[in-house]
Amino acid sequence: MPYRTLDNVDVAGKRALLRADLNVPVRDGRITDLTRLERLCPTISELAGKGAKVIVCSHFDRPKGKRVPAMSLAPVAAALGEVLGTHVAFADDCIGPPAEQAVAALRNGGVLVLENTRYHAEEEKNDPGFAAALAALADLYVNDAFSAAHRAHASTEGVAHLLPAYAGRLMQAELEALHAALGDPQRPVMAIVGGAKVSTKLELLGNLVTKVNTLVIGGAMANTFLAAQGIEVGKSLQEAEMHATARDILAGAKAAGCEILLPTDAVVARELKPNAPTQTVAINAVPADSMILDVGPATVATLNGHIAALRTLVWNGPLGAFETPPFDAATTAVAQAVAAATQAGALRSVAGGGDTVSALRHAGVLDKMSYVSTAGGAFLEWLEGKTLPGVAALSD
């Protein structure tokens, strides 16, 4: 592997600064989803079990360099302790005397959470002095926050150059999954890309057509590609200013030998609301007063036929307006076909992005994919072919 892992690293008695992602969803002061904390447990438990003093640092929300009490990591530290089943100490700052005293009080195998790194404006500026102050607390650095690896901040990139630096087990799992999906995939490989706008996924589409055998374009993005080819899409959401770009992407895919699949039929309605009256029409027969809100059953059958022959699938974005039934039907049907092929051992499936995670959870298949990334922005930038600063800093 091109990055350093925790294999064969002696951490006994050493202070390990662990960059985590403690940016959990909170509503009315309560944490509503513990997934990010649960995914950190293997790395924390391994380090603590080997006798390290584990010092966890993370940002939380956007306090913009000020102490915002509602953005304190204190309640998250308490929740982390409950998930780990052990006492987790908390320091009222991430550098300076409060942090230094809390680290000094740590025993081998102990766990400490430092206060929100973004209480300091220097964090997002990747300030060398701030990175040095963080590094002074530890003997080695472990990054387990792939979700923040696309940002060159002091706690994700700066400190990695000041201490021996390693990928945590969560970071390692994410990188292995992504490498297997796009770096060196088993073929044939297909990507499903959905969502509202072509303009936000230009770099993604441009990179994927050079990497995959088949590219499925769904969601409102597909409307722009259809309209760019002269197909009437009625009142559907689309980007008229992106038509030339869409045609360029189609031409680029053809030159690269990548097959692009667009909807051949659609579920349309006059308005987007739950259980609105719908009709299913061929893609070239969309009524002028209606909008495309999901792909139709013929398109689903085509996609599921492709899935049966695939070895690798990458998924980012739903096929329709899945939050509003019945426009969740196609995404759910395809997700269940992907899950079945994955569970049968025939397919490696890697998915990511906030809407994608929600759609897979809605379809009941979140735990039946090979790997689901919760790292929205970083996952997208990886798919775009970009170098992530937090990963590059761990390279051999």
DSSP state at residue 12? T
**Does any domain span residue 8?**
no
Between 250 and 29, name the one with better pLDDT. Answer: 250
Q: Which of 340, 344, 394, 339 is nearest to 371 (CA)?
A: 339
Q: Is 388 inside a domain boundary?
A: no
Q: What is the structure's pLDDT at 202?
A: 87
Asked whether residue 257 is assigned to any structural domain, the reply reads yes
Confidence grade of residue 368 (pLDDT, cut at 50, 70, 90): very high
Is the domain of 218 the same as that of 357?
Answer: yes
pLDDT recorded at residue 270:
97
CB-count exposure of residue 275 (10 Å: 0-12, 13-18, 19+): exposed
Q: Tell whether 343 is covered by a domain.
A: yes
Residue 278's domain comprises 185-383
The catalytic residues are 36, 197, 354, 377
Dist CA 239 CA 225 (whole Å): 9
Contact 225, 188 (CB under 8 A): no
User: What H or E segment, with its residue span, contains residue 315?
Assistant: strand 312-316
Do 283 and 367 belong together in one domain? yes
**Distance (Å, rounded) from C-alpha 340 to C-alpha 66?**
48
Q: CB atoms < 10 A from the CB of 224, how many?
A: 25
Higher pLDDT, 345 or 2: 345
Closest among 14, 11, 44 to 113, alpha carbons compared: 44
Decide if 137 is inside a domain. Answer: yes
Pair 224, 356 in one domain: yes
Q: Which residues contact 181 (CB under 8 A, 6 or more apart)?
A: 189, 312, 314, 348, 350, 371
Same domain, 370 and 239: yes
In a 10 Å sphere around its CB, with 0-12 CB exposed, 13-18 middle and 19+ buried, how is residue 279 labelled?
Answer: middle
**Residues 221 and 285 occupy one common structural domain:** yes
The answer to whether residue 178 sits within a structural domain is no
Does 97 sit behind a cis peptide bond, omega within 30 degrees of 0 on the bond before it? no
According to the model, what pLDDT value does residue 376 have?
Answer: 82
Average pLDDT for 40-44: 97
pTM above 0.75, yes or no: yes
Tell me: do 342 and 245 sit in the same domain: yes
Give pLDDT tens digits for 96-117.
999 999 999 999 999 999 999 9
Mean pLDDT of the chain: 96
Residue 269 pLDDT level (bands cut at 50, 70, 90): very high
pLDDT tens, residue by residue, 313-366: 999 999 999 999 999 999 999 999 999 999 999 999 999 987 999 999 999 999
Residues 246 and 312 in one domain: yes
Select from 114, 146, 170 the last residue of a domain: 170
Residues 169-192 pLDDT 10s: 999 999 999 999 988 999 999 999
Using one digit for the tens of pLDDT, what is the confidence trace for 136-161? 999 999 999 999 999 999 999 999 99
- Model confidence over 74-94: pLDDT tens digits? 999 999 999 999 999 999 999
If asked whether residues 258 and 376 sit together in one domain, one would say: yes
Q: What is residue 118's predicted lDDT score, i.e. its pLDDT? A: 98
Q: Does one domain contain both 127 and 206?
A: no
| Same domain as 165, residue 192 | no
Look at residue 308 and tell me if it is in a domain. yes
Is residue 1 assigned to a domain?
no
Structure confidence at residue 396 as a pLDDT band (50, 70, 90): low
Q: Is the pLDDT of residue 211 over 70?
A: yes
Number of separate domains in the chain: 2
Of 151, 140, 139, 145, residue with least CA distance to 172: 145
Any idea what the CATH number is for the domain that residue 130 is in? 3.40.50.1260
Q: What are phi and psi of 324, to 5 degrees?
A: -120, 100
Domain end position, chosen among 112, 138, 170: 170
User: What b/e readout covers 97-116, taking b as 16+ CB neighbours within 10 angstroms?
Assistant: eebeebbeebeebbbbbbbb
Per the CB < 8 A criterion, the answer to whether 50 and 11 are in contact is: yes
Q: Of 131, 146, 170, which closes a domain?
A: 170
Rounded to whole angstroms, the Cα distance separating 354 from 312 reads 21
Find, among 70, 90, 93, the residue nearest to 79 by Cα. Answer: 90
pLDDT at 1 over 70: no
My answer on whether 252 and 355 are in the same domain is yes
- Do 231 and 376 lie in one domain? The reply is yes
Only one residue has tokens 């009437």, namely 232
